[in-house]
Structure 1
């Protein structure tokens, strides 16, 4: 006999170990089996499981378990990313605690230290994924710094370089002064900070003056003679690197000055006034300083006007020798204060304006990022993007939901060169060697580079390998095929499992990962790396706010697994995954699905107590009882719905269909309606229903298994006799339209509708639960009259009625409701105060009206919609919908009640 309760703490570890040791996570070796593969979005080796991981990996696991049960050779390939900057940061912090740094150790010793950390502490997230039930093939686990993957990285870099698609260039990058490296846009956090616009006067050269429009005290426009142009900046220190002032070519105030010069304060350098659309004539003074080496927009202006590019910063964000001696070696922010003070003292500070503005920060270091001019390696992403665009445009790869294709297209159609070099020590060392004259040799190995150098110079020379490593996204862009054994195109996994079928990932890395995998996969294999990209939702708190430690609203999936078990958390995430971009996660929802688990468990306990066991050779197609023919059809309808939903990645539809079937159809109705048969004297009917109950519950377990693997596997093993397989390898049921019996459906659904309508009316009218009310049906046809006779006892018991029958006239004081072709008449006048109930309903409807009116006025207010956070607007829309539905329900009840008066 089953225990009274399911204990996830003891069951989950036992079952997971059993699955893994049995080889159940590996793809079946049947050569006839259709391959189906998914590669995991590799989490950082430094990471730990957060709620976003829990959602993403649960959806992958649902899909892989489903396809495995459908007989496919299903591979879910796991692994982790070396996460260059994040991992280096972890180890540098450890060293700092011991008053050491990586430069003291040297590169080789430092990298060895990171490998030691990775062996001991890295990959905790992999262990945590097991707790979630992730059925990855761990025997194929990969790491982006594995030798095989490193070989693929070198191959790609060298090939792209020889094809002219990787090159070295001096351009602006996001520079992290703390880590001393370029970082990607993804690693930049934009923060709003309090700051200032400092307005500086730049003197016109050669004694030039002009008439500048100003407003007098009365607001009238007049002119004053000026020998300067005012520019505004939030970063005064960068003025030392200015090489122009830009004005809009059509700005009447300045267009006659285009081509003239100003004198750069402090430095004394003559710099030109250029006309460029980048200057906004309606913003600020209309004139902007141009510092090509320290601003991405200014860099573009500099290119267009062939301006000098002067870098004034060191990699540590101190001022270098390009600035006057007074400021050399000083921190950028110290220099800022001194320049502002000097401007004030010398009179060219024309104003200070407080402002809030966006400043880029390193997401790992927390320091302000500098646009910095350096020599870096770049990929010609625009060329690689062409085929990646075409593959989605022509349907070789599809996005689900489809609207995410727009995001993908917009980025690829406007793509910039991709900076792939990083000034770190942890990562894939760039396979480039410099000769004594700076000539670069890009080869697979040092030996090949030396051979190339001999061919170039005619003799052996000393080569120096590039110190930089590759952007982590470069190696992860190869993930779908490098993990399969490429560049060996004859590798068995590459031959069988590439291209993969479905990628499940978040919308935030469509640019940085999905698009780059598409570019690399198509370029090097000729095939798109996946057929379908499913973009999963974002998990927020129950109010729709982003989870953060500072808000104290973070839900830790590991804590939730400890509290509720993995299955309820998984079911919650799957059931809510179709709400668009955001999932509003609340503990109450998880508790609700834990109750669902309990319902499933108790249904099996009920079956055991009533000796409902699997029967060898039992064929549900042979059942005779109407109830059993009905449940057979309902089961096959659910098989069809769930199968189609999972095929389409409509995970929420699958979960909601399962919930409705298990809780409402099986537990609420089939179990209840079968009790008289199981407790009756008809041996044949009892035996058939016992076998059918066991079969139906087995189908529940099979269909639920991808979503709730632990409790279903435990029940499968505990309730079946002589099971040939664990549930994880059981075959998925096949929909059979012939299993649906229209006559049985009509009869049992009528019975359910009748009982449900009576219960609904009783609830709406506040009829006491103990009261047994008479029911009569008018206008009943022959089928209805027969069904009343057949199911009389069940109707009386489940609807709590004193009698049920057919009549020609509606009794006085009865509440009407429609049931099929008949009208039910529930006589409740003697059990409630009709006038009091009428007043109660009217009062509740008025309360709904007040809520509807107030909420609608808010949502109709453009100012509210513009200013309110998205989650507040959504909350109000939900409140309005709930109030309107509640009013409609009570209004219908009030009309019924009035008919009885």
Structure 2
């Protein structure tokens, strides 16, 4: 050993590592070099990879669902940069809508529209504005701590006038195309939020609930037997609004006598024993349902008896089924979609008449239902049932457990009611929507083909208006009689029409603006009161984030459609849907090319994560305990990337540290230790040179080949957005690296085979680690950066960050599929040998006199012999065919 001091500093790393602490140091380093912005500057001018970030609400802190989707986005966009693209990554905020208003209503004790009007829209919206980014700073901290590179400074907010103006432009284009109309429609309605919801919103939050069921009699007028129709409902609160009954025209109905009471009833024959015991009825006659058409009956209540000439009649329609109830469906036209359709078609109601809807905006009974006035509909069920019993109309009462929609924001039961709304025509676009979707690529593909495709095939007209206050106002000005309508598409147009300078587009600013009528002597036009559904705003984000078409038209053209978007599978009927509806209506194509839909992250018991139940660990606690890299890898190496659900378990994150990061770190530490020994022992410097990566050693050639094959595989699978294939292969690599290559080459790496052999082995291991660091950089950005900062000191690299580097092209000269196959077979033999040892209880360290390998394929045996297994395993091997 030379006594000279080598003229090279080899970085030393600690024997143990605290991953969270090291990540904090990397965050400080990224801040010091302004890593993300520097990265963007370096890629300026390169081909663009466009990415849309779906805007979350900042009324709460990020949860695991946000972290999962954010990690997927970060991985894909980091990888795109590695491929030589310029990737602009703008964060967005959903600032309007129910989430914000609901928080204000709770905080201020607001019960309904009257309270808002008393307070004043200007003051109400001012309160909303104060909380829209209540947690924005926390979001920035948490998202940054997770390692996601996203531009918060250049973000977009849906409350910015520029964003809102583009939303107006989108709406006017649809209006000009004839896709906008106003109408009454039965819709899911949130009584807590005082507003209708779209069908996809209503489908977001179903729960199993127990509701009362009643069978009620409707005495038929002028029936010789004094028969009564039997109707069944799970919503007794709709019975005061009953105007008709409906039967299936072709199914069989029966007139029967209840033996215990001698009363005669009419119902579907196949449903009789759901109401009466088998020994308590006698069928008098049967007939098809169409024979009941036109029968008049006595109303249950007299609230709408003035309509008796048209109402309280039996109608027929094939939507009636034999699966539940009595086969006679009670019709409350303004509280059910089919009820409305059937009674409208039969002339019981008309589009021109005042809706029969004795429920106020908060879901409480109003006139003329005087018996239950002021009662919340669900609370009134028991009182209505009691009154039915007193009236002698209640035939049966029970309960049913069924799936029922709840408001996604207030978590209160939805009701269905007719409300005047503004709609976007969608039903005529079904084929166009399917064509647009067909041109996109989804991971996993079954989400597009099944879940999304089925939703598009049943697409309904979209109600985009909300009877609320904090949102983008719908830009329609209308005359008092509705004969004159103006749809405004820009701030400039509004200023020209009103003669008033406009710098904000919220209700408190523009509701007071009037547009002079074009008809001499007529009063001015005033804006309608509704605002947009916030989903319409988020669906408009490809245009509104750039203030298109008012500016940045070139930027829009370069990034539309987006190369990539990603969100949870629950956005199939949310953001994914609204994006494609608006884009197809405007441009005839989808607004994105590639999409990853992730599954849901659940609590460890399979329940939905709940802050009130505290059934999941705080994400920052997990990060501070195990590191963000471990959390990232755990999430994207789980079923959620296949759109399945994940039961979050803390031990899963811990296992990533134990099984992946520690072996990786130990191999890296082992390399640096032995480079230092090599430098000291041989009085030479060590500088990695990619051109010197060459070896005749069989295991060097195997690990080099395996690494280059892995690089090819990652490129292929990432091009397909198959993150779920990439991560298992990467994590498997660390097992091969540490348990096979390093373990079998420890003596060589320590220099026991001589200086040249040692340098070759060290160069090989250095090359492997440097390549795997680059491959892992998008997935575990912290540890990759940590290792790179040390290793680059032994290279000629001048790059300040591993994240500035491109992913290298595979070196096909190093790939030897024969060696890879042979080693794989050798590994199988060794693993089988361990199994046999376990069965025979022979310790691993106990030497074997011989190992006999039997296989029908001579090539298999030749592969094993070619690797000199005896030398590698220090065993005598006998191979027999």
* TM-score of Structure 1 vs Structure 2, range by shorter chain: 0.7 to 0.9
Q: 1:880 maps to what in 2?
A: none
Bigger Cα displacement from structure 2, 380-389 vs 368-377: 380-389
Partner of 1:133: 147
TM-score (norm 2): 0.82
Give 1:706 deviation, angstroms.
1.0
Query: 2:736 maps to which residue?
Result: 665
Is 1:226 matched up with 2:226? yes
For residue 892 of structure 1, what is the aligned residue in structure 2? Answer: none
Note closer, same or farther for the CA distance 1:75–1:403 as it changes in structure 2 (3 Å cut): same
Matches within 5 A, 1:106-505: 106-122=120-136, 124-188=138-202, 189-205=205-221, 208-210=222-224, 225-250=225-250, 251-253=252-254, 255-267=290-302, 268=305, 270=308, 271-280=312-321, 283-308=324-349, 309-323=355-369, 325-333=370-378, 335-393=380-438, 395-398=439-442, 400-438=444-482, 439-444=484-489, 445=491, 446-450=494-498, 453-454=515-516, 456-458=518-520, 461-488=523-550, 490-505=552-567
1:583 equivalent in structure 2: 646
2:35 aligned with 1:22 = yes
The 1:122–1:691 alpha-carbon spacing in structure 2 relative to 1, beyond 3 Å, is closer
> Are residues 673 and 112 of structure 1, via their aligned partners in 2, closer, same or farther at CA, if it must alter by over 3 Å?
same
Q: Is residue 795 of structure 1 aligned with residue 858 of structure 2?
A: no
Which residue is equivalent to 1:82? 95
Matches of 2:70 and 2:399, distance apart in 1: 46
> Cα distance 1:701–1:122, how it changes in 2: closer, same or farther (>3 A)?
closer
Q: Is the 8 A contact 2:51 2:565 kept in 1?
A: yes
In structure 1, distance between residues paired with 2:467 and 2:667? 61
Residues 442-499 of structure 1: CA distance to partner in whole angstroms, max 9, x if unpaired?
Answer: 2135435548954622368444322221101101111233224422475343132222
Structure-2 change in CA distance of 1:627 and 1:292 (3 Å): same
Q: Please give the secondary structure, in 2, of the residue aligned with 1:392.
A: helix
Tell me if the contact between 1:435 and 1:453 (Cα under 8 Å) persists in the aligned partners: no
Aligned to 1:887: none
**Deviation (angstroms), 1:542:** 5.1
Task: Tell me, in whole angstroms, the C-alpha distance in 1 between the residues paired with 2:123 and 2:25.
Answer: 41
1:709-748 matches, within 5 Å, as: 709-721=781-793, 723-725=797-799, 726-741=801-816, 745=820
What's 1:9 paired with?
Answer: 20
Q: Secondary structure at the match of 1:138?
A: strand
5+ residue gaps, structure 1, are 211-224, 797-803, 808-820, 824-901
Shift of the 448–296 alpha-carbon distance from structure 1 to 2, 3 Å rule, reads farther
| TM-superposed deviation, 1:763 | 2.7
Q: Deviations over 1:106-152 (max 9, x none)?
A: 11122122222234434643432222111123343212222222111
1:60 is aligned to 73
Matches within 5 A, 1:834-873: none
> For the Cα contact (< 8 Å) 2:220–2:227, is it kept in 1?
yes
Contact 1:434–1:464 (Cα < 8 Å) also in 2 = yes
Aligned to 2:837: 762
| Deviations 1:27-53, CA, capped at 9 Å, x for gaps | 456566221122122222223222222
User: Take 1:58 and 1:449, find their aligned partners in 2: how far apart are those partners?
Assistant: 47
Q: 1:838 corresponds to which residue?
A: none
Say whether the 8 Å CA contact 2:57–2:132 is kept in structure 1: no
2: distance between equivalents of 1:482 and 1:354?
49
2:687 corresponds in structure 1 to 615
Question: After alignment, is 8-17 or 716-725 more displaced?
Answer: 8-17
Deviations 1:368-414 (A, max 9, x none): 32222221111101244443211233x35555324532222222222
What value does the CA root-mean-square deviation take over the aligned residues? Answer: 3.2
Q: Identify the residue that residue 593 of structure 1 maps to in structure 2.
A: 656
Distance change >3 Å, CA 7–CA 261, structure 1 → 2? same
Counterpart-to-counterpart distance in 2, 1:559 and 1:649: 30
Match of 1:51 among 36, 59, 64: 64
Shift of 1:201: 2.1
> 2:178 and 2:218 mapped to 1: Cα distance?
44
Residue aligning to 2:757: 685
Instruction: Decide whether the 8 Å contact of 1:397 with 1:528 is kept in 2.
Output: no
1:154 to partner: Cα distance: 0.6
Q: Is this contact kept in 1: 2:694–2:760, CA < 8 A?
A: no
SS at match of 1:263: coil
Give the paired residue count: 782
Relative to structure 1, the CA distance from residue 156 to residue 266 in structure 2 (aligned partners, 3 Å threshold; closer, same or farther) is: same
Q: Please give the alpha-carbon distance, in whole angstroms, between the structure 1 residues aligned to 2:295 and 2:825.
A: 90
2-side partners of 1:704 and 1:407: how far apart?
33
Partner of 1:879: none
* SS of aligned partner of 1:569: helix
User: Relative CO higher for 1 or 2, CA cutoff 8 Å, sep ≥ 6?
Assistant: 2
Q: 3-state DSSP class of the match of 1:58? A: helix
Change (3 A) 1:742 1:233: closer
Q: Could you tell me whether the CA contact under 8 Å between 1:481 and 1:521 is conserved in 2?
A: no
Partners of 2:472 and 2:532 within 8 A in 1: yes
Contact 2:182/2:423 (<8 A) preserved: yes
* Conserved? CA contact 1:172–1:293, under 8 Å: yes
Alignment partners' CA distance in 2, 1:326 and 1:758: 83
- Describe the shift of the 1:405–1:787 C-alpha distance in structure 2 as closer, same or farther (beyond 3 A): closer
Partner in structure 1 of residue 510 of structure 2: none
1:732 and 1:623 map into 2 onto residues whose CA distance is 23
For 2:88 and 2:822, how far apart are their aligned partners in 1? 45
In structure 2, how many angstroms separate the alpha carbons of the residues matched to 1:513 and 1:490? 23
Closer/same/farther in 2, CA of residues 423 and 524 from structure 1, 3 Å limit: same
Residues in 2 aligned to 1:770 and 1:592: alpha-carbon distance in whole angstroms: 27
CA–CA distance in structure 1, aligned partners of residues 400 and 756 of structure 2: 84
Distance 1:784 1:160 in 2: 69
Give the secondary-structure state (helix, strand or coil) at the position aligned to 1:198: strand
CA distance in 2, matches of 1:514, 1:93: 30
Residues 384 and 528 (structure 1), Cα distance of their counterparts in 2 relative to 1, 3 Å cut: same
Between the aligned partners of 1:753 and 1:193, the Cα distance in structure 2 is 54
CA distance in structure 1 between the partners assigned to 2:401 and 2:753 by the alignment:
81
Distance 1:326 1:748, change over 3 A: closer
Residues 204 and 229 of structure 1 are in contact (CA less than 8 Å); yes or no, is this contact kept in structure 2?
Answer: yes
1:710-754 per-residue CA deviation (whole Å, 9 max, x = no partner) reads 011011112321641111111102113221246755776676556
Q: Which runs of 5+ in 2 are unaligned?
A: 1-11, 255-288, 350-354, 500-513, 677-684
Instruction: Say which of 625, 628, 641 aligns to 1:563.
Output: 625
* Structure 1 residue 538 corresponds to structure 2 residue 600: yes
Q: Report the Cα offset of residue 597 of structure 1.
A: 0.9
Cα distance in 2 for partners of 1:375, 1:123 equals 39
